Structure 1
Amino acid sequence: MTVVVIEPISSGITYLNAAQELGIDLYVFSTDEGECSIDGTMRQKAKEIIKIDTSDFHSQLSKINELKTVRAILPGVEYAVPMAAQLGNSFAKNSLEYTTAQTVRNKFKFRDKLTKSGLSDIQYALISQGKEICLPQGFKFPAVVKPVDMAGSMSVKKVADFEELLRTVEAIWKSKPNDIGFYASGDLIVEEYIVGKEYSVEGIVHTDGKITFASLTEKLLGPEPYFVEIGHIVGNKYDGQFSEHVFDYAAKVIQTLELNIGPFHLELRVTPQGKAVAIELAARLPGDNIVELIKLATNFDLAQAVLSEYLDLPYSPSIEKNMVSAIAFIPQGNHRLFKGFSGLDQLLEAPECVHHHFYYEADDELACNHDWTSRLGYIILRSESEDKIRSLVTHIHEQVKVI
């Protein structure tokens, strides 16, 4: 019994540990070069790293047929979601429907479907190169403009008025957004800005249609007009009515989008009036170490649950809610050259600190992007006290300085 994971760059890495613990052979399909290079640890955990063009359907299908025992194909990164579904639909018993994958991978199609189903009432419009920008009558600014097909907050910006929208659209097209070899199509969506606090809902859709909600994750964002995620908190003790409303809304979104199996990561905002409004949904495991945060806070292994669901293995989800976990990213601010951090010494030795990872070394040059690439590293925390976690996250964001 084997599975294939396509380009395990982000959240898909967690499948390697989960497969090893479950005794499942896992093959990695990867271009294995540049940002998609497979490191030594991953090579040790995979059954085999198969270097292949992960944008080529037929070559991958041929390889899967050669392997013979493959039971499921899973995306290891956002951009692989449609390909994993298309390959899975060709032969696997359990697979996300390809049409569903296409809908959730396109932010305009996603918004359009929710609007027509009564689950979204914000106004929006598609912007395509070579066509006049036409906004719905009564469209209200501020608004948010972004590519329909990128991830990681790439080229997402809040705009104050129509003139700023025009300038931002031209700037996005000029920059030609790309990420790990994936290039944006050029289509953009502009939609009314949603006032409210941001959250994400993580879980799994079972083959019988039932949904297991693993987490209601609080999102911490950097300063607008950008939407860089600088932290996540899992295990918060929410008011029962609040979480019930959010989960009920999430279930309706999932059913409307016709997710038939697998993990989901739904980002949404809750308005000051208490109304949940979806932002986007990813039909894959969440990134930013959220899978690890869920396990630290609840002892629920979402990656194991997904593999078990696809392979029809027994798995009893037991979600304990006795801990709080968080990840705090360190943003680069206006720095263009990395020298180090100050204010970290005692923090890294605190009992709540699980581990940390910093991406840069002294004298490394820094990019000037307002997306996930502007984060210099992270610290993962865990405690029984939500107040303690919040205090530590605040300390990291306010007291840890880039030199």
Structure 2
Amino acid sequence: MILLDYPYVSDFLIDTIVTNQFPVVATKEAKEILRDRKINWINEADAISQVKNVALMPVYTNSENSIAWIQQNLQGTRLPEMIETFKNKFKFRQLIKEAYPDYFFRSISLSDLRDTDISNFKFPFIIKPAVGFFSIAVHKVDRKEDWPDIVGKIEKQIEKTKALYPKEVVSNTEFIIEEYIRGEEYAFDCYFDQDGKPTILNVLHHVFTSEYDVSDRVYSSSKEVIERLHQPIMDFLLMVGSKIELKNFPLHIEIRETSPGKINPIEVNPMRFGGWCTTADLTWFAYGINSYEYFFSSQKPDWKKVFEGRKDKKYSLILLDNQSDVAQEDIAYFDFDAIAKDFENPLHVRKVNMDKFGVFGFLFTETSKGNEKELTEILHSDLKKYMILK
């Protein structure tokens, strides 16, 4: 069954639900999102009963916001505990610490940040909410002298975030401090089937402008990336599966490759693929793989067939966020037509309410080998050229 919630459900996911008649829990939010569509509704009481009584019931949610519903209604099942294990970065680090025995991490509360002596910490390190989303309040700390300024930024960011997301999505009190993982960053969608075997659905390279950049501007997938990292990721998933039983369970995971073929996880997001229907939808636009259908039917990609005709292509997910000095209230609208024209093959343009969510939208693209300049330019752009001012 599927749990739907705000902030965003893509047309592609909605069409997939309608076509397959996947059962959708009839929450208030889901009924608002799917109004006037032919939906295979399951009322909340029946949904709760099924999850509690049917072993290994596959459940998918598009949004972190649904975690609150699960925690409130599905106590006594495996789901709340598994969600907490993955969403709480400190607990997850404890789960896998035997596989990474030299990795430094510790938990700390927001109220204790200013008074914490970090002199003996391993520099550089990353501080972020123990339960977090969308790179909110994530900071790299290089020197002890930078600590007071960073704490001040965190306090302001958390206060602003309280109005946007529930506490289950962004913890307002607990943080994790962990050593900075050097290497290239990647993200991937996967699931464990009913036998506990993992399947990888996509792998994307998260590109940054520098080691200080923590933005989500560009993620790119390709034959080269998927083939090179497939086995190291499978080995990692099998290790995780040996620590906690995972069956009929989807995940979105971020990692860094610390040396060729060796990976270290950054965070694991349970019961969903990439937020805002991003990475799963890109997998469809890029490779013709419907990740939602693959999860519910335990299908595995035939990568050899998928890559036929796609050997020299790169498929990217681009976050259109405001990194300029232009105030949000001064922007009349964002010129999506103009930005699409600056790309070789835009696959899909996704518009988002900037005033409500703080981003303009997302762009899905196909780029030919040798034309990566368009991705480099958008990575470094403040997008001001696409902003139409009032």
Q: CA deviation at 1:299?
A: 1.9
Partner residue in 1 for 2:360: 376
Say whether 1:293 aligns with 2:277.
Answer: no
- Structure 1 segment 343-358 matched on structure 2, within 5 A: 345=338, 347-348=340-341, 352-358=345-351
Say whether 1:251 aligns with 2:238.
Answer: yes
C-alpha contact 1:119 1:253 (8 A) present in aligned 2: no
Structure 1 runs not aligned, ≥5 long: 51-59, 310-314, 368-372
Distance 1:274 1:193, change over 3 A: same
Partner residue in 2 for 1:127: 108
C-alpha contact 1:73 1:88 (8 A) present in aligned 2: no
Say whether 1:359 aligns with 2:357.
Answer: no
- Structure 1 segment 163-174 matched on structure 2, within 5 A: 163-173=145-155
In the alignment, the residues of structure 2 paired with residue 271 and residue 67 of structure 1 have an alpha-carbon distance, to the nearest angstrom, of 39
Letter in 2 for 1:29: T
Provide Cα deviations, 1:191-215, integer angstroms capped at 9, x if missing partner: 1111111101211110101111111
Provide Cα deviations, 1:144-184, integer angstroms capped at 9, x if missing partner: 11111121111111122234334433543454342644132
C-alpha contact 2:191 2:249 (8 A) present in aligned 1: yes
Partner residue in 2 for 1:55: none
- Structure 1 segment 99-178 matched on structure 2, within 5 A: 99-115=81-97, 117-119=98-100, 121-131=102-112, 139-173=121-155, 175-176=158-159, 177-178=161-162
Partner residue in 2 for 1:326: 316
Match for 2:326 among 335, 338, 355? 335
Provide Cα deviations, 1:278-303, integer angstroms capped at 9, x if missing partner: 10101122225111111222222111
C-alpha contact 2:201 2:301 (8 A) present in aligned 1: no
Letter in 2 for 1:232: Y
Structure 2 runs not aligned, ≥5 long: none
C-alpha contact 2:345 2:365 (8 A) present in aligned 1: yes
Distance 1:74 1:331, change over 3 A: closer
C-alpha contact 1:291 1:301 (8 A) present in aligned 2: yes
Tell me the number of residue pairs that the alignment of Structure 1 and Structure 2 aligns: 366
Q: CA deviation at 1:16?
A: 3.1
SS of the residue 2:224 aligns to: coil
C-alpha contact 1:114 1:256 (8 A) present in aligned 2: yes
Partner residue in 2 for 1:199: 186
Q: CA deviation at 1:72?
A: 5.2
In the alignment, the residues of structure 2 paired with residue 271 and residue 141 of structure 1 have an alpha-carbon distance, to the nearest angstrom, of 17
Q: Which moved more, 1:62-71 or 1:209-218?
A: 62-71
Distance 1:203 1:14, change over 3 A: farther
Letter in 2 for 1:74: Y
